[in-house]
Structures are given as structure tokens and as C-alpha cells.
Structure 1
Amino acid sequence: MLYLFRCSAVAIIYFCFLTGPADAAEVTTTHKNLTLNGRLMTAEGKSLKDGVVLLTHGTLAHNRMELIETLQKGLKERGLTSLAISLSLGLTKRTGMYDCKVPHRHRHEDALDEIGIWLNWLKAQGAGDIVLMGHSRGGNQTAWFAAERAPSEVKRVVLLAPATWNAERRVAGFKRSHKQPLQPVLDKAKKLVAAGKGDQMLKKIGVLYCPGTDVSAKSFVSYYKNEPRFHSPNHLSKIKVPVLVIAGAEDKVVRGLPKLVKPLADGKKVSLKVIAEAGHFFLDFFAEDVADAVAEFVAP
């Protein structure tokens, strides 16, 4: 199908609609000279004024990955409008998985800024109550944003298999993935950042899931510094609105999440839903279970 491209502006936020099916639109906004991509799926008979779920994906992923697409469809079937965003990771109009061969200049905290940009976009469109939702690393970034920056329009937060963290696992994970000890590289990167040379590239060091790739000093420090806020449960007590944490009982990526969250879950301010047999990506019918849990959580 040929889609008609049209652009309009609201205040200082510029966005474009790729008009296709009435219930789905590709939308964009801008931030730091970058074009950010989002996909807005509107529930039948609803508009943004009726509320929206803002979805953020996980590490180096995008808004058309299987889990996010399935969730958007599932939420729509349950009468919930959603906006799934693709974090730029420092690239304009980024689509698809991040190519590991592309030098890494992005930072973990950049996502918080972009979540805020999209919230402003939604407010400019007249959106009603907003639910923040994120998966994996995006779950941590969502929790971090909700704890420190969430405006009054955010009424609820859903964290889907949100990332956890501890210092020892950070060290072991880097050595396992990148075949070298973390501390010497981190020390070098920190010195460069302190000297105002954070943009300098560390050649063939590797970062996250990308072994042997080039990464800037400030990007490396962002992902590997000693930062307790990488541990999503640490944010739960600081989020002022109700929070739902959804865990997969067979999650082999974010291990032990139910055990970490259960002591904090009172069923009112913080709720925990464990989906039996589900893995980290909630494939197949498990995404339907997630959509059910979200719909129940946000119901009036």
C-alpha cells in the first residue's frame, strides 16, 4: 500500500505522520538534531484523549521487534492505545536492531531524555492519562524516569522484565562477553571523560552485546560505571504512582526478578505479576498474558 507522507508542527515539536491504516501511524519528533521514530496504534473508537501507553524497548532493539509489535496489537484489542518508540541510540531515523559495526556513542541515560521528549509530544497532541511501560533495559530506563522525572500526566508504570544489576555481575559479564577485564578499560574511559575527551573512541573494545566494536569513552562509562540505579527494584519506592512489575517465571536474562520484587510488592503501590513458563521475550501467547495484565492494571 502506498502511504501519503505529511508533516505538521505543534509548538516547537515537529512530527510526521505516515498515514496508513486508521489505527496505526508512524510518527516522528526531534531531539538534538536527531529524528526520533515512534509507532502510534490507536484502539478502536478511542483517541489519545482517552489515554495511552508509552512503550520503550530493550537493549539495542527497536519498536518493531516481535514483542513490542505483539504487545501493541494486544493492547489495541483490549481497548488501549499505545505509542511504541525507537530510542535513537545516537542515530537519526533509526530503524531495526542497532548494527554492532556502527561506532557506539549512545548512553544509557539518553533514553530518559527521549522518553521525556515523547511525553511532551503526547501532551502536545492532547493525550489524557499516560502509562509508562518498558521492557528489559527499557524497563530500567522507564523506572528511572518515573522515579526522577515523571510529570503529573503519568498515572501508572508497567515494568516488563526490567533489568537488574549488581557490581560483581557487571564485571563478570564484561569479561565473559568481551574476553578482557573490565576495570582497566573503565579506568581509561573515566580518565578521558574527566579530561573532557569523552567523545574519543576506544577501538575494538566492545560494549553491551557487541564484541570488538568501537565505543566512545563516555558511552562506555555510561554502561559500565558503578550505578545502583541500573537495578530496577531500587526505583520502586521512589515512584509516586502505582507500579506493576511483570516477570517471566523462566526468564534466563533477568534472573530472580520475582524474588527481588516480592518483598516490595504490597499489591497497592507496587504489584507483581509472574507469568508461568514465560521467558524474557514473552513469545507467542505469553504476550497475550502480558496484555491482559496491563489492561487489568490500568482499568478504572
Structure 2
Amino acid sequence: MSNIDFIYDWTKDGLRLQGIHWEEKTIGTCVLFIHGTSGNIVENYFAHTLGRELSNNGYGFFYGHNRGYSHINDIINNQGNHSRIGARYEKFSECLYDIDLWVNKIIELGYEKIIIMGHSLGANKTIYYNSKEQNQNIVGLILASPPDLVGLTKLKDQFRKEMINEARDNLKKNEPNKILSYLHEGWFEVSSETYLEFSIDGCAADNLPILRNPDRFEELDKIKVPILAFMGDTDEVNINSPEEDLLLLKTKATNCPDFQYKILDGANHNYIDKEKELSDLVVSWIKQAFK
């Protein structure tokens, strides 16, 4: 049975984040999990199941919270105050600080090989990080429910143009944290600056442009390690069908030495009641890809 430990540490820009480590160093490989919009370990049952299964098979698992955990949070900073962030206020580009913290922490813990797994928005962050940072310890990527963030705003935000114009006006008024009048995808309150960070063509988060489908997905094209991508057949982040979206990603990952993808039957975006199938898929892929 694995030893589970809470770890707290500071990002380079001065935020204290929390990570959860399922320890198992017999093989020297650890999966770093990057959660999606508003995620946190308390409400992510499939991550807990995955951590247990990885540990049982000799792999470490590290759930690294990023500054976008929960819809609103108050993170202590190195000035002795609290920074209000969460999914409502986070800046996508600052994910570099968060992921870098946990990559370095995992190396510090003694692991030699790291596989970064991003779920939903975390998949975009994973790709973004790997396009900016070249770390020889990162040997593979797992993309769980990888979305075209900009494309989804075009398809699902009925008032997208109004939201973009309002957000831009608020930034001109020096009110980047002002909440928009409309809900993103009809359910998610979001600040002006945050919305612009994932809704505009060419923004930092626009690295899986499935709807627009340019000749190259430039950041995905830079990845030179094996990739596993998967999605549920009842997922809500696909642009076309899950099969079509994942196949397109495979064709665009031209420098990836081995791109595998899978559709999980009956699985939704959060893999409810499919936690074991997800875990078995990940463990099996790791054993096959990194013999």
C-alpha cells in the first residue's frame, strides 16, 4: 500500500501551492497530474483511483494543484498576504510557474523519469509547458480529454463577441478582474482577463485549434516524447466526434515518436464510474511505452 503525503512549496513568483504524493520509487517513474478548470484532489475521484493503481504497479503519482484550483481560492504568497485566484481569475500563461514547481519537486523526491498527465485545461497547460521548457526528465505526456479551448468558446458561448468586447473594455479601464456579464458555456463565471486568455485566436491557450485546423499545431508539433491521448465517448469537449478529434491530434503531432489514443466507452468528461478503466489504460500504456 502506498504512502500518501501532502507537500507544500513555493512557485518562483511567490505562491504556496499544495501537492499530494503517492510514493513508490521502485521503478523511478512518476506521473505528474495537472488538473483542469477549478479542479482539486478532494473532488477528483478518478485521480485518487489512478494514484492507487499506479502505486500498486510500482509507479509514483503526484497531484500538483495549480493556481486555478477551485473556482475561487485565496493562496498565501511570500509577502505574507493572500492572492485571490482560482479558475475565475487565473492567467493561463502563469501555469509555467506551477508545473515547473512540481517537476522540480518530483526530481527532488528522487524520481528520474516524469510523465506529465493533463486533464482538460490541464492538457493545454501540459502542451504549453513542454513547448516552453525542455527537461530531459520528462519522458512522456498523457492528454486526458484535451480540448480546443478557443473553438469551444466559438461553439458554446452564445454571446462570445459581447464577452470579448466587454473584457477588452474592462482591461482598458484597468479592471482585469471584473466578472463578465455572461457565463462561459452557460455555467462558469469568469473574469475579463481570464476569458481573453482562452477565447482569442492565437492566445496562449490556443494550442489545440481543432475547429480552425491550421496546417500545423505548432506547440503539439514540438513534442518529441510518446503521447497517450484519450476521451470518453460522452465527453462534452470534443469539437467533432471524439474519434475524429483524437485522430486529428495524432496527425498533427508530427515529431511524436509514438502517439496512441483511445475512446473510453460510456465515459464522460470526468470519467465517473470509469475510474478503473482509465487507470488500467494509463498503467498499461506506461508499461508498454517505457519497457
TM-score range, shorter chain: 0.7 to 0.9
Query: Is 2:18 the partner of 1:37?
Result: yes
Q: Which runs of 5+ in 2 are unaligned?
A: 77-84, 211-216
With structure 1 as the length reference, what TM-score do the two structures score? Answer: 0.75
Contact 1:251/1:280 (<8 A) preserved: yes
With structure 2 as the length reference, what TM-score do the two structures score? Answer: 0.77
CA RMSD of aligned residues (A): 3.2
Structure 2 counterpart of 1:121: 105
Q: 2:224 and 2:155 mapped to 1: Cα distance?
A: 34
Query: Is 2:252 the partner of 1:275?
Result: no
User: Aligned residue pairs: how many?
Assistant: 262
Q: Which runs of 5+ in 1 are unaligned?
A: 1-20, 94-100, 176-180
Query: Is 2:279 the partner of 1:296?
Result: no
Q: Equivalences for 1:1-300 in 2 at 5 Å?
A: 23-31=3-11, 32-43=13-24, 46=25, 50-64=28-42, 65-89=44-68, 91-92=74-75, 104-167=88-151, 169-175=152-158, 181-193=159-171, 195=172, 197=174, 199=176, 201-202=178-179, 204-207=181-184, 210-211=187-188, 213=189, 215=191, 217-227=192-202, 229-231=206-208, 234=217, 235-254=219-238, 256-263=241-248, 265=250, 268-284=257-273, 286-299=274-287, 300=291
Q: 1:242 and 1:139 mapped to 2: Cα distance?
A: 14
Q: 1:56 and 1:116 mapped to 2: Cα distance?
A: 11
Q: Following superposition, which runs of at least 4 residues in structure 1 exceed 6 angstroms of deviation?
A: none
Q: 1:116 and 1:42 mapped to 2: Cα distance?
A: 19
Q: 1:112 to 1:230 in 2, by over 3 A?
A: same
Tell me the SS of whatever aligns to 1:55.
strand
Task: Give the drift of 1:135.
Answer: 1.0
Specify the code of the residue in structure 2 equivalent to 1:56: I
Contact 1:136/1:161 (<8 A) preserved: yes
Contact 1:236/1:243 (<8 A) preserved: no
Q: Deviations over 1:20-51 (max 9, x none)?
A: x96100111112332101100013xx36x712
Q: 1:79 to 1:70 in 2, by over 3 A?
A: same
Task: Give the drift of 1:151.
Answer: 1.1
Specify the code of the residue in structure 2 equivalent to 1:184: E
Task: Give the drift of 1:172.
Answer: 4.0
**Sequence identity (%):** 18
